[in-house]
Amino acid sequence: MSAESSSWSSVQKFLEKSDPQTVDYFQRTKWDERCRTASGLAGDMECIALDQVANGLNNIVRVLQFSDQTRWAARVHIRRNCSSFDSSIKLEAEVGTLQFIKEHSNLPVPRVFAYEADENNPMGGRVHTHGTAPW
């Protein structure tokens, strides 16, 4: 997750170039709550959501940084053209796949620290938080 990648943009540029549904998901995400949750998982280190955002068709990724300079990715799932149930199943399958690959191969995959498949949670939507890929 190189900070120099051309895939990353500032929050302002991200909001200017994104479609309305993506902007809505970003704005209703409670980034402070995501940092509190991540901080608890990382031994209560201070956490901030950086001004680095990227997205694909169904996800928004924002970089979280801890006081020791460790970075994690908070991935917000955007539900497009599917039911809430299907979206939850998809997230659980993605997390399960990452965990399976990590446990049964030598392929470099990020460690999933936490995920929430229910979009009605204190963080404001479906998310999984993971470390950077080890390459």
What pTM does this model have? 0.73
φ, ψ for residue 130, nearest 5 deg: -140, 160
Q: For residue 5, is pLDDT > 70?
A: no
Task: Let me know the angle formed at the C-alpha of 98 by 120 and 81, rounded to the nearest 5 degrees.
Answer: 45
Gap between the Cα atoms of 40 and 46, Å rounded: 9
DSSP H or E stretch at residue 7:
none
The CATH number given to 11-131 is 3.30.200.20
What is the reported pLDDT for 135?
35
Q: Which residues pair with 66 in a beta bridge?
A: 47
Per-residue model confidence as pLDDT tens digits over 77-120: 887 665 555 667 777 788 788 789 889 999 988 777 777 766 66
What is the reported pLDDT for 134?
42
Q: 4-18, 103-117, 119-133 — which one is most confidently predicted on average?
A: 4-18
Per-residue model confidence as pLDDT tens digits over 41-64: 899 999 999 999 999 888 899 999
What is the reported pLDDT for 127?
56
What is the reported pLDDT for 71?
92
Q: List the chain domain ranges.
A: 11-131
Task: Let me know the angle formed at the C-alpha of 84 by 116 and 81, rounded to the nearest 5 degrees.
Answer: 125
